[in-house]
């Protein structure tokens, strides 16, 4: 009895294709297989991985999954062909040598079950010998004479022309299914393919946003992702017709040569006609469809990358911190919803003020807001930046000049606040509150801690993407989940105040455990130590191992519980404190003392210098926040609406979104302006992310204002005379 094949190990191929150290890749694949999370591996298993960061670890995870899927498909295909009795040693070698899925599927195509084709019907009519003569390209013979014996009306072959046509159908399919021919066509599409668009005449009677593509062509290999996605959207909406074209005649000539065509031979014309048919009827539609799919996939990946980078910057925006905040959701018709939240984000009170209901309403609004400020002494007022937001912020500033001049007034992005207000999360948090009040709470909390609040919202609703609604949902969801997980674990989570949505993003936790943690906290009171997590039903040793280093407990009896030091290293730190002759509490937070400790002395076993360096930084500054210090943006007082914006103006703004074609900037008028990629710098810029990031404060100059379309064109270039 034959020995079973050893389990497939993807690590060597992953290391080879990503050009990463084999030992580190093998450690990552093993840890992932054991259920470790990417943040945990990157932060707490540096010695095993050789210090690979999250980007490399996620790349390993993705490549591993692809290679494993490829291997599973390879085994399925080998088995299927073998069952047909057609698996030659040469074919096996070719299949086993495939590194990409398209090559594998091209090799399998001739053996794959398919719907009834013209070639199948021709074979059933006995025309395969005639097809083989065409493929053989003999130097002698007469096609029509050789076709005559195949004429049989009972088999639906009424004459010689029908016999030759059927034989050509067989030849066309054989040629179209050859892996080398398909590779040739793919290469031609990759090299010369042109994306061509034309307008659907019936749709051009009114202006559309796709006018730039009504008569458009661009090489497929260089078309930017945002442009291709825009074109596909135009096609989806029935406004554009889209094709990817190559020179069919030139391609057919090259394929004929590959198929053995001999100029002047008696069967040359038959083969040429079959190849032209194979090219136009079988190969072009099939490979064009694959090319469109590949372009769409590449565009999706690029769009998701852009979204992920923007989301990461937004989530890691500087927090105001644990301060009392008064939040205002501006409204004209329904009034402005005001809330006050304490330093942990807990709602203290809410009220409604009217700013456009006449003098009496305005006086009442001043009185109400003054009372809220006087009673709760907020450190800042957060105002949603939607319609009427600038005017509401100005109203608050005017009031504070005499009542509380030190209180900040900050315009806060309210993208997605309405989505949060109507979400299950918001209903669970505030079941008895109106949607608009929930929105004001979200605005206030966003100022306190953008990360903690934005994790509650579907990322697609936050508005920092590029065609995010057009990309493959599964890809988008996976990438955004990775970004949120990475950001949450980089910052750390306060265990006794974090919401369930925030806790669910902690490594090893997830939505179900997060709800159990919150329920335990509400029932048993605040967690006194990280070890108390093990009292939560369903949270076992593995989940604790993954999560413990990323949660914080301020004021815990063990000061390390407020740091990023993992509990598995507590005995080591306690030994270091003992060797230094101090109590653990005297060591943690003492930067000067931490600097005097001979850390290399403690290298041993699975603890190397990378882990010791992490511990040193945490001992010196426990629980440090990696985010920048909060600084409120400022806008010009004389620029409040788009009509106030004039060409030539110099304005300070805040970057709200970065795409492949440029950056959008809030200059304080509710309508973001666009800095095209060509205007981002005095030097050439290929990738806008190399120049600006979401949240950056930037000086811009107004180039053009289109009031009809509500568009503002900006430049960040140095002004020239």
Query: What six digits make up the tokens of 341?
Result: 């939240």
Architecture of domain 325-448: 2-Layer Sandwich (3.30)
The predicted-structure confidence for 397-442, as pLDDT tens digits, reads as follows 899 988 888 899 888 888 888 888 988 889 988 999 998 899 999 9
Measured over all CA atoms, what is the biggest interatomic distance in the chain, rounded to whole angstroms? 107
* Contact between residue 606 and residue 572 where contact means Cβ atoms under 8 Å apart: no
pLDDT attached to residue 721: 45
pLDDT bin (cut points 50, 70, 90) of residue 658 is confident
Percent of the chain with pLDDT over 70: 98
pLDDT attached to residue 640: 76
The predicted-structure confidence for 45-77, as pLDDT tens digits, reads as follows 999 999 999 999 999 999 999 999 999 999 999
Using the structure block, give the residue that is written with the tokens 């990309």: 471
pLDDT attached to residue 466: 65
pLDDT attached to residue 3: 53
**Any idea where the domains of the chain sit in the sequence?**
11-111, 118-307, 325-448, 642-715
Count H helices and E strands in the chain, helices first: 30, 15
pLDDT of 719 > 80? The answer is no
Q: How far apart are CA 472 and CA 476, in angstroms?
A: 6
Q: What is the mean pLDDT of residues 545-572?
A: 95
With CA atoms as reference, report the closest residue to 127 among 165, 176, 172, 173: 165
* Contact between residue 660 and residue 466 where contact means Cβ atoms under 8 Å apart: yes
Q: How far apart are CA 625 and CA 628, in angstroms?
A: 8
Other C-beta atoms within 10 Å of 492: how many? Answer: 20
Of 334 and 90, the structure prediction assigns the larger pLDDT to 90
User: Could you tell me which CATH number the domain at 118-307 has?
Assistant: 1.10.3500.10
615 Cβ contact partners less than 8 Å away, ≥ 6 residues apart = 565, 569, 572, 573, 599
Q: What is the mean pLDDT of residues 482-492?
A: 93
pLDDT of 512 > 90? The answer is yes
pLDDT of 696 > 90? The answer is no
19 Cβ contact partners less than 8 Å away, ≥ 6 residues apart = none
* Contact between residue 456 and residue 423 where contact means Cβ atoms under 8 Å apart: yes
pLDDT attached to residue 1: 42
pLDDT bin (cut points 50, 70, 90) of residue 560 is very high
Other C-beta atoms within 10 Å of 709: how many? Answer: 9
Which residue blocks in 570-701 are alpha helix, DSSP H?
Answer: 570-579, 584-587, 591-596, 609-620
pLDDT of 670 > 80? The answer is no
Q: How far apart are CA 310 and CA 465, in angstroms?
A: 7
Query: What six digits make up the tokens of 719?
Result: 């002004």
With CA atoms as reference, report the closest residue to 329 among 243, 437, 429, 483: 437
* Contact between residue 365 and residue 353 where contact means Cβ atoms under 8 Å apart: yes
Task: Look up residue 682 and give its DSSP letter.
Answer: S
The predicted-structure confidence for 75-88, as pLDDT tens digits, reads as follows 999 999 999 999 99
Mean pLDDT taken over the chain: 91
CA dihedral sign, ordered 218, 223, 224, 227 = positive
Q: What is the mean pLDDT of residues 95-114?
A: 93
pLDDT attached to residue 496: 94
User: Could you tell me which CATH number the domain at 11-111 has?
Assistant: 1.10.10.650
250 Cβ contact partners less than 8 Å away, ≥ 6 residues apart = none
The predicted-structure confidence for 275-333, as pLDDT tens digits, reads as follows 999 999 999 999 999 999 999 999 999 888 888 888 898 899 899 999 999 999 998 78
Percent of the chain with pLDDT over 90: 69
339 Cβ contact partners less than 8 Å away, ≥ 6 residues apart = 326, 327, 347, 348, 349, 350, 351, 437, 440, 441, 444
CATH class of domain segment(s) 642-715 = mainly beta
The predicted-structure confidence for 205-263, as pLDDT tens digits, reads as follows 888 889 999 999 999 999 988 899 999 999 999 999 999 999 999 999 999 999 999 88
Task: Look up residue 111 and give its DSSP letter.
Answer: G
The predicted-structure confidence for 514-551, as pLDDT tens digits, reads as follows 999 999 999 999 999 999 999 999 999 999 999 999 99
With CA atoms as reference, report the closest residue to 224 among 237, 208, 213, 214: 213
Residue 1, judged by CB atoms within 10 A of its CB (0-12, 13-18, 19+), counts as exposed
Q: How far apart are CA 665 and CA 699, in angstroms?
A: 10
- Asked whether the domain spanning 118-307 has the same topology as the one spanning 11-111, the reply is no
Other C-beta atoms within 10 Å of 422: how many? Answer: 11
CA angle, corner 611, sides to 48 and 26, nearest 5? 10
* Contact between residue 412 and residue 446 where contact means Cβ atoms under 8 Å apart: yes
């Amino acid at each position: 009895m034959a020995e079973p094949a050893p389990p497939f190990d993807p690590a060597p191929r992953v290391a080879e294709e990503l050009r990463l150290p084999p030992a580190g890749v093998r450690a990552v694949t093993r840890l992932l297989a054991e259920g470790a999370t990417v943040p945990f591996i990157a932060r707490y298993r540096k010695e095993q991985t050789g210090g690979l960061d999250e980007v490399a670890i996620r790349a390993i995870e993705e490549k591993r999954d692809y290679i494993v899927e490829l291997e599973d498909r390879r085994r399925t295909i080998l088995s299927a062909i073998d069952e047909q009795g057609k698996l030659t040693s040469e074919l096996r070698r070719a299949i086993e040598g495939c590194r990409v899925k398209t090559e594998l599927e091209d090799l399998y195509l001739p053996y794959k079950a398919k719907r009834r084709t013209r070639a199948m019907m021709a074979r059933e009519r006995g025309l395969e010998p005639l097809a083989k003569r065409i493929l053989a390209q003999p130097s002698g013979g007469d096609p029509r004479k050789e076709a005559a014996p195949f004429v049989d009306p009972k088999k639906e072959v009424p004459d010689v022309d029908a016999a030759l046509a059927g034989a050509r159908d067989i030849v066309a399919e054989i040629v179209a299914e050859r892996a080398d021919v398909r590779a040739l066509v793919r290469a031609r599409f990759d090299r010369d393919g042109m994306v061509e668009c034309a307008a659907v005449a019936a749709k051009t009677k009114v202006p559309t946003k796709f006018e730039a593509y009504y008569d458009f062509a661009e090489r497929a290999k260089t078309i930017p992702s945002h442009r291709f996605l825009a074109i596909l959207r135009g096609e989806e909406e029935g406004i554009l017709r889209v094709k990817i074209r190559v020179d069919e005649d030139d391609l057919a000539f090259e394929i004929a040569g590959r198929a053995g065509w001999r100029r002047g031979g008696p069967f040359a014309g038959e083969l040429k006609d079959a190849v032209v048919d194979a090219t136009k009827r079988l190969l072009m539609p099939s490979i064009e469809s694959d090319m469109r799919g590949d372009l769409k996939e590449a565009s999706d990946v690029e769009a998701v990358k852009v979204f992920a980078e923007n989301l990461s910057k937004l989530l890691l925006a500087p927090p105001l911190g644990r301060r009392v905040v008064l939040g205002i959701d501006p409204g004209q018709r329904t009034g402005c919803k005001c809330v006050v939240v304490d330093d942990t984000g807990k709602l203290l009170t809410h009220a409604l003020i009217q700013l456009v209901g006449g003098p009496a309403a305005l006086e009442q609004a001043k009185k109400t807001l003054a009372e809220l400020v006087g009673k709760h002494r907020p450190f800042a007022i957060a105002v949603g930046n939607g319609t009427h937001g600038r005017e509401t912020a100005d109203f608050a500033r005017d009031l504070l000049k005499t009542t509380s001049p030190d209180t900040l007034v900050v315009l806060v992005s309210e993208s997605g606040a309405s989505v949060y207000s109507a979400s299950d999360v918001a209903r669970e948090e505030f079941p008895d509150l109106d949607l608009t009040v929930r929105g004001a709470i979200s605005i206030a909390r966003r100022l306190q801690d953008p990360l903690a609040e934005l994790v509650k919202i579907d990322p697609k609703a936050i508005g920092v993407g590029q065609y995010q609604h057009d990309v493959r949902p599964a890809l988008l969801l996976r990438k955004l989940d990775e970004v949120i997980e990475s950001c949450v674990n980089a910052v750390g989570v306060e265990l006794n105040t974090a919401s369930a949505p925030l806790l669910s993003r902690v490594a090893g936790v997830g939505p179900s455990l997060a709800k159990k943690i919150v329920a335990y906290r509400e029932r048993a009171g605040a967690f006194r130590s990280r070890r108390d997590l093990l009292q939560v039903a369903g949270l076992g040793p593995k989940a604790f191992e993954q999560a413990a280093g990323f949660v914080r407990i301020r004021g815990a009896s063990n000061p390390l519980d407020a740091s990023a030091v993992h509990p598995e290293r507590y005995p080591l730190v306690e030994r270091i404190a003992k060797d230094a002759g101090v109590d653990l509490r005297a060591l943690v937070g003492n930067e000067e003392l931490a600097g005097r400790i001979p850390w290399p002395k403690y290298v041993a076993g699975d603890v190397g210098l990378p882990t010791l360096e992490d511990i040193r930084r945490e001992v010196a500054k426990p629980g440090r926040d990696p985010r920048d210090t909060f600084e409120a943006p400022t806008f010009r007082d004389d620029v409040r609406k788009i009509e106030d914006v004039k060409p030539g103006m110099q304005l300070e703004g805040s970057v709200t979104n970065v795409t492949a074609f440029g950056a959008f900037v809030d200059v304080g008028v509710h309508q973001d302006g666009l800095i095209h990629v060509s205007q981002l710098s005095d030097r050439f810029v290929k990738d806008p992310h190399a120049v600006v990031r979401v949240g950056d404060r930037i000086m811009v100059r107004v180039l053009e204002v289109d009031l009809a379309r509500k568009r503002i064109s900006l430049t960040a270039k140095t002004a020239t005379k």
